[in-house]
Structure 1
Amino acid sequence: MRLLHSLNQKYRFCSFCERGMMDTVYISHGSPMMAIDESIPARKFLKTWQQIFKERPKAILIISGHWDTKEPTVNVVNRNETIYDFYGFPKSMYKISAIIQRVLNLRAVVICCFLLQWTVVVNLLKFSYIEEFNLAQIYATRCSSIGEEGEGTACGKWLQALCQLSVQTDRDGTYHYNLGKALAPLREEGILIMGSGATTHNLGTMQPSGSPVPSWALQFDTWLKNALLEGRYEDVNHYDSRAPYGKMAHPWPDHFYPLHVAMGAAGENAKAKLVHHSWDHGTLSYASYQFTAPK
């Protein structure tokens, strides 16, 4: 612990700390069509992001709903080619190029690795700061499968994020909440911790765009909103047994665990705020949350 404290003090960005710690966020991502379809409400929300989250981060750590590994794994590469992990979309979607060339500041990654205290895979470490932070330029704020060898950038990470952290779907919500708690000191470094997944994620139940929301999806979405806004984080950690239609909303937990990490990283007394809410394809909730710790 002394080593962790020493590293944290040594690599602290003092000028940022004077302004306070970063909030954490959980963004629901949806159809890749957000890259080109101006009618999607969630896309319009992303374009107003800087009005909601005005502090520009030094770097971004995204917890991905599309990257599942046995142990927490960090991917930081100098360059990822674009890969297209979706099918049946307009041809223009496959012409979008999103080359990631920025990497996370080495010091932040080192601290992250020590804090995790697990086996962490780091592909490439270099010094760099994020130079732009404009979510209006992001196709959809979600994080997809950058593999352990950095084989490419899937559609979910077409953005200028600098570091990605995997989820472990063989673990539970409490595990990911505690993982977030371990990452919390990164907020003092000016790093935005962003969970990216889906508030409801049962692709087998999706309907044509504009379809009504079925009762089970609405009940789960409402339960989650109330639990978060009331600070009932322990209930959210055990959503699979305490939420109505928890298994229906998330037959597989990969897209929900990023919420637990963002929630844990903000702290037990953090206040949740619903920053966006919309539906698409009947069962796909775009509910997104911001977590702010007491000053």
Structure 2
Amino acid sequence: MSTLPTLFVSHGAPTLAIVDSPANRFLRELGRTLPRPKAILVASAHWESRGGPAVSLATKPETIHDFGGFPAALFAIQYPAPGAPEVAARAASLLTQAGLAVAQSPTRGLDHGAWVPLHLMYPDADIPVAQISIVRGGSPAEHERIGRALASLREQGVLIIGSGSLTHNLYEFRGQPIDVPAPDWVSGFGDWMKARLDDNDLQALREYRTRAPHAERNHPTDEHLMPLYVAMGAAGDNARAARLHASYEYGILAMDAYAFT
């Protein structure tokens, strides 16, 4: 099996799972274009731990509906993929070897940062899945280090996915339609990120909070961008980024997806 790329996907609002949009259609196609992985490890913005990453050893991870006020059809979705406890245990070992403190959860299920994109990419739910957390308050460099520790899993057929959102300021949602154009403060941030990723300008990317235009407005808190750094680090040294998709939803959510090889 050839070494898999790592992915960063923007999961947007939970309704991405049920509402037709360019990002929805992209994710439905993405799973068909990738080599089939033996297992999947997802770093989701919706699982944060303190002091270091955590991994889930669940053998039958439940589908967590960690949101409210959405259509009943969304709560009806189940993603009954088998767990990947062996992959999670290997990830924990690699992280420990890299000098990171690691917690292990025996029961943690799949939050919507994991199951929403996987429901679209792999609707048969027949590929084992494990989750890894991001670290609350952790820097981009720290999350890149987490990814680097996991890089060898790719050679074992594990698809590593960072699931977050390239922009994520829900305070700016005003009930606008899904296809409203993005304002300059959203598109400008996305353009800056793409240019830095294209140039492999790691230092600028690590310092995005002070260097990117409108960084704090796009990310009042930055947990939704940290999965990108996990995916970037997991691709290994001298990794190159390729933007696979770019669209906007509700004007405020940049739905970019990147592959790192």
Aligned-partner Cα distance in 2 for 1:76–1:200? 30
Partner of 1:86: 67
Aligned-partner Cα distance in 1 for 2:158–2:98? 16
Aligned-partner Cα distance in 1 for 2:205–2:231? 12
Partner of 1:245: 214
Q: Does 1:177 align with 2:144?
A: yes
CA deviation vs aligned residue, 1:59-107 (integer Å, no higher than 9, x gap)? 1111110111111111120123333222222222222222343324356
The answer (yes or no) to whether the contact 1:206–1:284 under 8 Å persists in 2 is no
Q: 1:97 to 1:77 in 2, by over 3 A?
A: same
What pairs up with 1:31-70 in 2 under 5 angstroms? 31-37=13-19, 39-53=20-34, 55-70=35-50
Q: Percentage identity across aligned positions?
A: 36
* AA of the residue aligned to 1:157: A
Aligned-partner Cα distance in 2 for 1:115–1:49? 33
Aligned-partner Cα distance in 1 for 2:111–2:148? 28
TM-score (structure 2 length as normaliser): 0.87
Q: Does 1:232 align with 2:183?
A: no
Q: 1:111 deviation in Å?
A: 4.1
CA deviation vs aligned residue, 1:99-135 (integer Å, no higher than 9, x gap)? 34332435634643444433323334xxxxxxxxxxx
Q: 1:283 deviation in Å?
A: 0.8
* AA of the residue aligned to 1:271: R
The answer (yes or no) to whether the contact 1:59–1:105 under 8 Å persists in 2 is no
Match of 1:269 among 230, 238, 255: 238
Partner of 1:155: 112
Q: 1:26 deviation in Å?
A: 0.3
Q: Secondary structure at the match of 1:48?
A: helix
Q: Secondary structure at the match of 2:58?
A: coil
CA deviation vs aligned residue, 1:36-79 (integer Å, no higher than 9, x gap)? 22x211110011114542x2212111111011111111112012
Aligned-partner Cα distance in 2 for 1:177–1:155? 22
Q: 1:77 to 1:52 in 2, by over 3 A?
A: same
Q: Secondary structure at the match of 2:64?
A: coil
Q: Does 1:119 align with 2:101?
A: yes
| RMSD of aligned Cα (Å) | 2.0
* AA of the residue aligned to 2:44: S
Aligned-partner Cα distance in 2 for 1:42–1:238? 28
The answer (yes or no) to whether the contact 2:113–2:163 under 8 Å persists in 1 is no
The answer (yes or no) to whether the contact 1:99–1:153 under 8 Å persists in 2 is no
Q: Does 1:200 align with 2:181?
A: no
TM-score (structure 1 length as normaliser): 0.77
Aligned-partner Cα distance in 2 for 1:228–1:75? 30
The answer (yes or no) to whether the contact 1:272–1:289 under 8 Å persists in 2 is yes
Match of 2:58 among 68, 77, 81: 77
CA deviation vs aligned residue, 1:124-163 (integer Å, no higher than 9, x gap)? 4xxxxxxxxxxxxxxxxxxxxxxxx52x443333244521
Q: Does 1:23 align with 2:23?
A: no
Q: 1:179 to 1:157 in 2, by over 3 A?
A: closer
Aligned-partner Cα distance in 1 for 2:143–2:225? 10
Range with bigger deviation, 226-235 or 157-166:
157-166
Match of 1:191 among 135, 141, 158: 158
Give the unaligned 5+ runs of structure 2.
119-124
The answer (yes or no) to whether the contact 1:115–1:183 under 8 Å persists in 2 is no
